[in-house]
Amino acid sequence: MLRQLTASMAYTTKPTENACNMTRRAHARIDDVARLAGVSIATVSRAMTKPSQVREETLATVREAVRKLGYVAHGHARALASRKSRTIGAIVPTIQNSIFAETIFALQKTVRAEGYVLVVACNEYDLGGEIGLVQELIECGVDGLVLTQSLHRAEAISLLERFRVPYVLTWAYDSEGHLPAVGFDHWRASSLVTRHLLELGHRDFAIIATTTEGNRNAQDRLRGVIETLQGSEIELPGSRIVQSSFSFAEGRKAFRQIIDLGHRPTAIICLNDTLAIGAMAQAMDMGFKVPRDISVAGCEDLEVAASVVPTLTTVRYPSWEMGEVAGRYLLALIGGRSPPETRMFQTELVVRASTAAPSKRMRTKRKFV
Amino acid sequence: MLRQLTASMAYTTKPTENACNMTRRAHARIDDVARLAGVSIATVSRAMTKPSQVREETLATVREAVRKLGYVAHGHARALASRKSRTIGAIVPTIQNSIFAETIFALQKTVRAEGYVLVVACNEYDLGGEIGLVQELIECGVDGLVLTQSLHRAEAISLLERFRVPYVLTWAYDSEGHLPAVGFDHWRASSLVTRHLLELGHRDFAIIATTTEGNRNAQDRLRGVIETLQGSEIELPGSRIVQSSFSFAEGRKAFRQIIDLGHRPTAIICLNDTLAIGAMAQAMDMGFKVPRDISVAGCEDLEVAASVVPTLTTVRYPSWEMGEVAGRYLLALIGGRSPPETRMFQTELVVRASTAAPSKRMRTKRKFV
DNA sequence: TTGTAAGCGTTATCAC
DNA sequence: GTGATAACGCTTACAA
């Protein structure tokens, strides 16, 4: 509730009556400022939003009145009249995953620099109904919307277009390149990791994969590994690919599962860092020396994980930059300027101490696939 | 921008003209729904917000019209007329720190369940001007505001009270108990850790502390350790307390610094988990076995860190619960219900593998302070 | 450069 | 239960 009125301020009271005793109201309105400054409300409005159109002297008077009364504009009234709210919405699966937190943080900073505030909603991987969220944010009157890993892209977009709300997709894949989307090349990310291990001389792999069902990004990552291996004429038996869900413990379990197969690969590629860290921990618990006995690599930079386990070879995803670009894109669209090109961000391999060439000991002990 | 009008819709056109051809407009308004349903706009409004006051049959007609037109209410107009916006604001230092992310996530979930959306703003530890942010959110017309570790509490509160915006402080300390605040007992948290080590038989400590300047929480944590030690007649020489900033690398550096003193404590208490993990990593790099040679404990549960380094003895801060309570508190205040009691959350010691009784080897090798 | 006044799309009061 | 209509607090086209 933005303002609390005294009883006498109810609908029956005439506006002119209020005008006389602003002391009875909770806070100042534009007409209070106008009266104190001795100008019209239009001038006050202009002084607030287009100061260049107001004479220097008048401006000073108005500003003084604003200061004296502690006037703060009523955003909803302003939005209703001007048809712009200076708010931007963002929908993310969760804010608890540091990769999304980073994007949101960057986005928030970017739009705030232009006077926009950010409305954040989490769809919790659709448990709450993504389309409902989009509609809610439209109802809130956001000037633009950022969608992250949208699960119902087509519906969300048609809704946004019907309401003429500018939008941009993040963490998204757009094969045709027609949609405003910024994302990562997940295929390339996991391919980078794989090539790195191939170049070190590894020929004997296992993959700890995430579930790929309905997740294009995860599919791309898995394909990136498999196709790169195929490029080197290496076929991976299906049993060497373990599917896991997202957790440290799952990474441990998957590692055990691989070792239980009775065949030790020289390198393990994990399709995300949480799994990789779990696998590494399990390897060490089981007496493996990393990377002497086995190399472990991840495919997705978890900022926090990287600071905690700074030895993991992985791929850096510039999620901060993505947030910035998404913000700038929307701001341009809203401001009627031509937006920057949307694009596929390139990821970058970060080689750390968890990978090395297979040791002689490994080579002699193992038969290749 | 919520709606785009065609040229003919400019101010010169009379409302009654618009009414006839809604096809030329971007989307439906309440009067379009009313016309299609054959009722007045007042009825439509009631059907949307107080369905119980509308006859079942009328309700169905209106709902059908809403569906047909894809009508979505204009939040700003609604907010202006009703004086409530169904948005709640939250100011946090950053969303990148997982403890705040967790609180925000819980808050978001709690308020969304009641139909509110969350506007998030980060003050980046005041680099952006906290009071400005508060004013911005008031201008946005939030129905309530959550402040986190507010650095300018007095000013923020006076502003909020002037505008009659309900608020609640989180991660906050309120010695008098007059303010609506939910926080943690940091003194107790670090005291718990200290007592645990004392009970294991440790007498020889070092502390890796955070900067305490202007940070009441950090001060409390440090006092918790020192005063608990004093309770056992243990005085810590100042050189055994190393001040660090917040990072993994700083934890490493601080550990080296302590060892460089030439005296090895049997236990190290770190005032946050990031420092603790850094210290542990450094210890292991330097050939220490944890906890055989040295015990390491933290004072602040970092969710991600805990999942990555699941061996760290630390204190769990229920930040999720705090977000929930903060949300419920505001919702109660807004709804005119009596709010739940604000309180100091109790933290809870989580003993893991990084602490143990000092070994005989340690005991014989060391002289006590 | 400034003032006048007509919107912006709802809700809430009051009469029926 | 429902309808007519006056707010809600601001922006902006147009006139001065």
pLDDT at B342: 74
The mean per-residue pLDDT over the stretch B229-245 comes to: 94
Q: Name the residue with tokens 């944010």.
A: A137
Residue B2 pLDDT more than 70? no
Higher confidence at residue B135 or residue A359? B135
Which pLDDT does position A307 carry in this prediction? 58
pLDDT digits (tens, 9 = 90+) for A131-165: 999 999 999 999 999 999 888 889 999 999 999 99
With beta carbons under 8 A apart, name residues in chain A contacting B310.
248, 281
Long-range contacts: A29-34, Cβ < 8 Å, 24+?
A29/A71, A29/A74, A30/A71, A30/A73, A32/A69, A32/A71, A33/A62, A33/A65, A33/A66, A33/A69, A33/A71, A34/A65
Does A15 have pLDDT greater than 50? Answer: no
Of B72, B120, B138, the CB nearest to A120: B120
Q: Kindly write down the DSSP assignment for every residue of A110-136, as one continuous string.
A: HHHTTT-EEEEEE-TTTTT-HHHHHHH
pLDDT at A8 over 70: no
Report pLDDT for A364: 47
Q: Which nucleotides of C are covered by protein (CB under 7 A)?
A: 1-14
Do A307 and B135 make contact, defined as CB atoms within 8 angstroms? Answer: no
Give A224 or A369, the one with higher predicted confidence. A224
User: Is residue B13 scored above 50 in pLDDT?
Assistant: no
Q: Inspect the interface and report whether the beta carbons of B121 and A119 lie closer than 8 Å.
A: no
Question: CA–CA separation, A300 vs A312, rounded Å?
Answer: 11
Min mean pLDDT across A7-11, A170-174, B350-354 is at A7-11
Strands A181-184, A344-345: parallel, antiparallel or unpaired by DSSP? parallel
**Nearest Cβ partner for B121 among A27, A77, A117:** A117
Q: Is the pLDDT of residue A169 over 80?
A: yes
Nearest CA distance, B91 vs chain A (angstrom): 11
pLDDT, tens only, A302-326: 555 555 666 789 998 888 899 999 9
- Asked whether residue B71 carries a pLDDT value surpassing 50, the answer given is yes
Structure tokens at A187: 């295929």
pLDDT at B366: 40
Q: What is the pLDDT of residue A344?
A: 76
Contacts of A76 in chain B (CB under 8 A): 75-77, 79-80, 85, 141
Cβ–Cβ < 8 Å for B168, B330 = yes
CB contact under 8 A, B76 and A1: no
Q: Are B168 and B326 in contact (CB under 8 A)?
A: yes
For the beta carbon of residue A46, count every other beta carbon within 10 angstroms. Answer: 18
Measured CA to CA, the distance from residue B319 to residue B182 in angstroms comes to 10
Chain A residue numbers with beta carbons less than 8 Å from the beta carbon of B85 are: 2, 76
Q: Do A76 and B72 touch (CB under 8 A)?
A: no
pLDDT digits (tens, 9 = 90+) for B267-320: 999 998 888 988 988 898 888 988 999 999 998 765 555 555 667 898 988 888
Residue B177: Cβ-neighbour burial (10 angstroms; 0-12, 13-18, 19+)? exposed
pLDDT tens-digit readout, B131-176: 999 999 999 999 999 999 888 889 999 999 999 999 999 988 777 7
pLDDT tens readout for residues A191-222: 999 999 999 999 999 999 999 887 788 899 99
Which is higher by pLDDT, A21 or B225?
B225
Q: Identify nearest nucleotide to residue B37 by CA to C1′ distance.
A: D2
Bond from prior residue into A237 cis (ω within 30 degrees of 0): no
Q: Measured CA to C1', what is the nucleotide nearest A80?
A: C8
Cβ neighbours around A325 below 10 Å, total: 24
- CA distance to partner chain B, nearest, from residue A87 (Å): 8
* Token pair for B248: 């993994």
pLDDT of residue A19: 39
pLDDT at B21 over 70: no
Protein contacts of strand C with Cβ less than 7 Å away: A 10-12, 38-43, 46, 53-55, 57-58, 77, 80-81, 83; B 3, 9, 11-15, 18, 29-31, 41-42, 44-45, 48-49, 71, 73-74, 77-78, 80-83
Burial-class residue B205 by CB neighbours within 10 Å (0-12, 13-18, 19+): buried
Predicted pLDDT of residue B305:
58
- Show the 3-state SS of chain B: CCCCCCHHHCCCCCHHHHHHCHHHCCCCCHHHHHHHHCCCHHHHHHHHHCHHHCCHHHHHHHHHHHHHHCCCCCHHHHHHHHCCCCEEEEEECCCCCHHHHHHHHHHHHHHHCCCCEEEEEECCCCCCCHHHHHHHHHHHCCCEEEEECCCCHHHHHHHHHHCCCCEEEECCCCCCCCCCEEEECHHHHHHHHHHHHHHHCCCCEEEEEECCCCCHHHHHHHHHHHHHHHHCCCCCCHHHEEEECCCHHHHHHHHHHHHHCCCCCCEEEECCHHHHHHHHHHHHHCCCCCCCCCEEECCCCCHHHHHHCCCCEEEECCHHHHHHHHHHHHHHHHCCCCCCCCCEECCEEECCCCCCCCCHHHHHHCCCC
Size of interface A-B (CB pairs under 8 A): 183
**What is the predicted pLDDT for the residue at A304?**
54
Which nucleotide is closest, CA of A11 to its C1'?
Answer: D7
For the ranges A244-248, B132-136, B158-162, B255-259, the lowest mean pLDDT is seen at A244-248
Q: Nucleotides on strand D with an atom closer than 7 A to protein CB?
A: 1-14
Average pLDDT estimate for B200-226: 92
Q: Encoding tokens for residue B334?
A: 């807004």
pTM: 0.85
Instruction: Supply the pLDDT for residue B348.
Output: 81
Residues in CB range of A283: below 8 A, 6 or more apart: A255, A290, A293, A294, A296
State the average pLDDT over residues A22-31: 77
Averaged over A292-296, what is the pLDDT? Answer: 93
Across all residues in chain A, what is the average pLDDT?
86
What is the nearest CA distance from A248 to chain B, expressed in angstroms? Answer: 6
CB < 8 Å to B112, chain A? 121, 128
Per-residue pLDDT averaged across B181-191, rounded?
Answer: 91
Average pLDDT of the segment spanning A111-125 = 91
Query: CA nearest B256: which of B206, B292, B198?
Result: B206
Report residue B44's pLDDT band, with 50, 70 and 90 as the boundaries.
very high
Work out the percent of chain A whose per-residue pLDDT is above 70: 88
Q: Which residue has the higher pLDDT, B9 or B96?
A: B96
- Determine the distance between B3 (CA) and D7 (C1') in angstroms: 23
B10 CB below 7 A from strand D atoms: yes
Percent of chain B with pLDDT over 90: 59
pLDDT of residue A363: 46
